[in-house]
Structure 1
Amino acid sequence: MVTIRADEISNIIRERIEQYNREVKIVNTGTVLQVGDDIARIHGLDEVMVGELVEFEEGTIGIALNLESNNVGVVLMGDGLLIQEGSSVKETGRIAQIPVSEAYLGRVVNTLAKPIDGRGGGLWGIVHEQAVPAPVNKANQIL
C-alpha cells in the first residue's frame, strides 16, 4: 500500500498554486436575435464599436455596422449556415483592417484578406492606421 505524507501533499498544492494563471479576461458577449440575408441582429454587445470584428460561437466572423439602442446589426463574412437564434457572439476588440504588402499583388483573397486562390501560404503585410479627415460642413463656415 502506498502512503503519502502530509508534507508531500502540501508541496504539491503549493506548486499548483504557484503555477495557477491569475489572468482574467473580460469578453463582452451577445445573443443572436435574428439571422438572414447575411445579416445578424445581436442583443447584448453594448461595448462593440462600428467596424469591429465579432465572432460567432461556430466560428463565423462578422463586422458590426449598425449600432442601435437595443441591438447591433452585423454583416456576416462567411456563409453563417450554422448560426441560429440564441447563438452566442463575442467581441474581438479588433477593427476590420486589410494589411498592405506586395505579397497581395495578383492574389485572390476573401473579405477578410485570406488567400483563396489555391496558391497557399498566409499573406503578411503591414497595417497602417490612417486618420480620416472629417467632412467640412459648409453651413458652419464663416464667410
Structure 2
Amino acid sequence: MKVFVTHTERAPGIISRRSIYEHLQTGLIAIDSMIPIGRGQRELIIGDRQTGKTAVATDTILNQQGQNVICVYVAIGQKASSVAQVVTTFQEKGAMEYTIVVAEMSDSPATLQYLAPYTGAALAEYFMYLERHTSIIYDDLSKQAQAYRQLSLLLRRPPGREAYPGDVFYLHSRLLERAAKLSSLLGEGSMTALPIVETQAGDVFFFKSKGGGSVGRNDKKILEH
C-alpha cells in the first residue's frame, strides 16, 4: 500500500480510480439538493470578495463531524486575522479533531504561498492511500496564481495575459486532478477538492475585452529590473 506522498505527486491514473458513488454532505441544503458533491469530486467555489466563499468552505468542514472524513484547510495569501478567526471557529466547534490547517499568510514569501496547496494535497493524499476519506479546501487558488506570477517574472519567464505565465492553467489542473476516488484494489479512499477562486467585479476571466491583459503595478516593477 502506498503511504509515502510528495508535494509533486502525480495524479492517480484511470486504472487506479473508480466511479464516484458516495455523497459528501456539505450541510448546505441548496448545494446538497441541487448540485450534490461526491467523495472524490472537484467542485469550484467562485465569487467576488466578501460573498461568503470561505463560509461555504468552513461550513462544509464543520458538517464532516462524525462522518469519518479528514479535512485539510489550506489558506493561501490570507490575512493572519482571517485565518485565526477560521481556526477559532474550528476549535469552538470541535472540528480541529479531524482537520489539518496549512496556512501561508499574505506576508509570507511567494515561494511558500506557491507550495502551500501542494503541501495540503500531499497530506490529504496520504490519508487517501490509507483508505480514508479526505476533503481539501484551497482558499484561495487565485492567490497562488499571483505568487506563481511573481516567481515567473523574477525568473524572467515570458509573461502572458495579465502577466501570468502560459502554464498557469496547467499549474491548477495538475493540482486538482489529484482529487480522486480510488479503486477497490487501493482501498476505495477518496480525496474531494473544493478550490476557491476570487473574481474581480464578477469578471470570471480577468481579461480585458481588447488586446489581452494588463500588467499590475507591482509586476511592472519586477519586469523593469
Question: TM-score, normalization: structure 2?
Answer: 0.18
Structure (1/2) with the larger helix percentage: 2
Higher share of residues assigned strand: 1
Larger radius of gyration: 1
* Higher RCO (CA-CA < 8 Å; seq separation 6+): 2
TM, length-normalised to structure 1 = 0.24
